[in-house]
Amino acid sequence: MTRKLMVLGGVALVALMLVGVPASAQEKPIQLALFNPVQLFPEAITIKGLRLNMIYGRNVSVTGVDLGLVNHTTTGPFLGYQWGAVGMADSDFTGWQDCFVNVTKGTMEGFQSGLVNHANHVSGVQLGLVNYAVTMHGLQIGLVNIIKQGGQFPVFPIVNWSF
């Protein structure tokens, strides 16, 4: 078993232990999705635990671990670890977004690692080939680094920052 799979399994186990039993009927501890709307629970349900998306999963909010090809949260926040080909958060994201393409339309607090990272407001680190933030309090490391407002440089290769 590779080191990355062991770490991923450990993160999933810890997330499930921390989440416990959902607080309401609008929260579920696990979601399995082929593509929206072919998933165990409708997108209006919050997932607190583990979400597995074979092709495309979509829920209002996720707390825990999110794994799949395309992972999408809509109006609610994301808190935890997200891994896949594409990670999309229409609202705020706190944690580690680890996809080939990461998009957070709200505030990103934590770490984005991927080929392309995009967030409106970043408090943390972006590591990728292309990194984009409207505003940033943190560090970008990549081939092309763009901080639209208030960065050390508007566009800069290798590293860019704003503190």
pLDDT, one tens digit per residue, over 115-140 is: 999 999 999 999 999 999 999 999 99
pLDDT reported for residue 36: 95
Residue 83 lies in a domain: no
Q: Which domain holds residue 160?
A: 92-163
> Is position 48 within any domain?
no
> What is the number of domains present in the chain?
1
Question: What does the pLDDT read at residue 3?
Answer: 62
Give this prediction's pTM: 0.85
Phi/psi of residue 75, nearest 5 degrees: -80, -20
Residue 142 lies in a domain: yes
pLDDT of residue 10: 53
Examine residue 161 and state whether it is found in any structural domain, yes or no. Answer: yes
Q: What is the pLDDT of residue 16?
A: 47
User: pLDDT band at 98, cuts 50/70/90?
Assistant: very high
The first and second tokens of residue 75, run together, are: 């109006």
90: three-class secondary structure by DSSP: coil
What residues does 31 pair with on adjacent strands?
A: 51
Indicate the range of 21-35, 60-74, 145-159 predicted with least confidence: 21-35
Coil, strand or helix at 26: coil
Residue 73 forms part of a structural domain: no
pLDDT tens per residue across span 34-92:
999 999 999 999 999 999 999 999 999 999 999 999 999 999 999 999 999 999 999 99
H helices present in the chain, as ranges: 3-19
Q: Is 12 helix (H, G, I), strand (E, B) or coil?
A: helix
Domain assignment present for residue 152? The answer is: yes
Is 47 part of any domain? no
Strands of the 61-73 sheet, one edge to the other: 38-39, 27-35, 46-59, 61-73, 78-89, 93-147, 155-162
CB neighbourhood size of 57 (10 A)? 29
Query: Tell me, what's the pLDDT at 17?
Result: 45
Q: Which residues pair with 48 in a beta bridge?
A: 63
Specify if 39 maps to a domain.
no
